[in-house]
Amino acid sequence: MSASLEQSFVKQLQENQNIIHKICRLYTSGDDEHKDLFQEITIQLWKAFPKFRGDSKFSTWAYRVALNTAITLYRKSKRSIATTEYDTTKHFFKAEDYNYEEEEQLKLLYKAVYQLNDIEKALVFMYLEDKNYEEIAETLGISEVNARVKMNRIKGKLKKILNP
Amino acid sequence: MEELDLLKKHWKKDESSFEQVSEKQIYKMIHKSSSSIVKWIFIISIVEFLFWSVLSFCMKDGEVMRQFDAYHVEHIMTPFMIIGYVGLAYFFFQFYLNYRKITATDNVQKLINTILKTRKKVHQYVWFNIIYAVCSAVIVLFIQFNHDERIIEMIEMSEKNNSTVLIYAIYIGITILFLSIFIAFIWLFYRLIYGILLKQLYKNYQELKKIDY
């Protein structure tokens, strides 16, 4: 692949890397694994890049490939099976808006999201990213109605985990 | 506020909290090799194809085959071997076509489906080989009973002692025993390798199917 293509890819990925980091955060439970999945997603994105026509935003195209990699292509190591106490909220709060109660709730929420399966996590991710149900359904390859129903069930499931 | 909306509020703020990867690091990453499930399936499948091909080539030059040349049973062996090679070519081509179809830009369900289809083709190839091995054993037994002088002699002797059934039983029994060990070994191998590799994939596939029905 040509050097200019490589340059364009690296630049766009560097600018849009946060969306990949968010997926890594949802699907892994430690820094090493996060880096590992980030690398695999980068490789898959690079492999698929020649087919990227630019008719959608790079970030939209990238998050789909990234989700696919996390759900289907990435081989989870044994480390990820054991749920480690990975403090996912450690970056959330800046000193000036620190709120103890919210932080505790967020910790619980993250723990609950971790208990969801890979597909449910994908739905949650797209919900958090404000994707509409048409896009969620298309990304997963299910019908829009069923995506909506499933999302409501997940909300119910999270509520149950948080308020047993 | 709904639980997820609280998370959403912070999700947006979270953008700046990730340790940023530099362009230099990304350059390095894209030149590294993938360790995806698809790559592993591809490597294992190539090893499988090589294993079965080497096995059939080895048998071609084996003592049994040399013996068979002397029996002049080419009219049975040649078509049988051609079926074997046509099978190998067909399955390899199909496997390669399916493998090419795997693309991370598909939707999740389609991608898992394509991966499982690719895997299924290799699986069918294994079954083809097992059935081929069973048929070979039957043909070899049939030819030996009709052409191997030692066996013919033994059968003639046993006819005098009224123990023909026993001779047939011993020969067929030994063949079945070896075939069973062979099939059990292959079955175990597959359960182990693909059980580990595809467990998560099947689980996610079932989950998607469950949502859609």
pLDDT in tens, B10-63: 887 777 778 889 999 999 998 888 888 888 878 887 887 788 778 777 776 677
Contact residues, chain B, for A102 at CB < 8 Å? 6
A79 lies in the same domain as A123: no
The whole-angstrom distance between B195's CA and the closest CA on chain A is 13
Residue predicted with more confidence, B49 or A78: B49
Return the SS3 of B105. coil
A60 lies in the same domain as A107: no
CA distance B140 to B136: 6
Give this prediction's pTM. 0.78
A126 lies in the same domain as A64: no
A75 lies in the same domain as A100: no
In terms of CA atoms, which chain A residue is nearest residue B200? A72
Choosing from A38, A64, A85, the residue where a domain stops is A85
The whole-angstrom distance between A95's CA and the closest CA on chain B is 13
Residue A61's contacts (CB-CB under 8 Å, 6 or more residues apart) are A52, B105
Domain count, chain A: 2
pLDDT-derived band of residue A42, with 50, 70 and 90 as boundaries?
Answer: very high
Q: Given the cut 0.85, state whether the ipTM is greater than it.
A: no
Say if the Cβ atoms of B3 and A48 lie within 8 Å: no
Domain containing A30: what range? 1-85
pLDDT-derived band of residue A21, with 50, 70 and 90 as boundaries?
Answer: very high
Contact residues, chain B, for A105 at CB < 8 Å? 6
A50 lies in the same domain as A92: no
pLDDT number for residue A157: 87
Residue B181's contacts (CB-CB under 8 Å, 6 or more residues apart) are none
Helical packing angle, A118-128 and A133-140, nearest 10°: 150
Contact residues, chain B, for A46 at CB < 8 Å? 30
pLDDT number for residue B189: 83
CA angle, residues B138, B142, B148, in degrees to nearest 5: 130
Choosing from A85, A112, A140, the residue where a domain stops is A85
A92 lies in the same domain as A146: yes
Choosing from A39, A69, A85, the residue where a domain stops is A85
Which residue ranges make up each domain of chain B? 36-212
- CA distances to A117, A123, B111, B167, B199 from A88, in Å: 18, 19, 30, 72, 27
A105 touches chain B (CB under 8 A): yes
Question: Residue A63: which CATH number?
Answer: 1.10.1740.10
Say if the Cβ atoms of B204 and A117 lie within 8 Å: yes
pLDDT number for residue B137: 86
The whole-angstrom distance between A39's CA and the closest CA on chain B is 6
Q: Which of A75, A113, A150 sits opposite B211 (nearest CB)?
A: A150
Chain segment A80-136, per-residue pLDDT in tens: 444 444 455 555 555 556 677 778 888 888 888 988 999 999 999 999 999 999 999
pLDDT number for residue A1: 59
In terms of CA atoms, which chain B residue is nearest residue A19? B15
Contact residues, chain B, for A50 at CB < 8 Å? none
CA distance B132 to A27: 44
Q: Which residue ranges of chain B lie beneath pLDDT 50?
A: none
pLDDT number for residue A147: 94
CA distance A74 to B173: 46
Question: Residue A123: which CATH number?
Answer: 1.10.10
Say if the Cβ atoms of A14 and B3 lie within 8 Å: no
Amino acid of residue B119: R
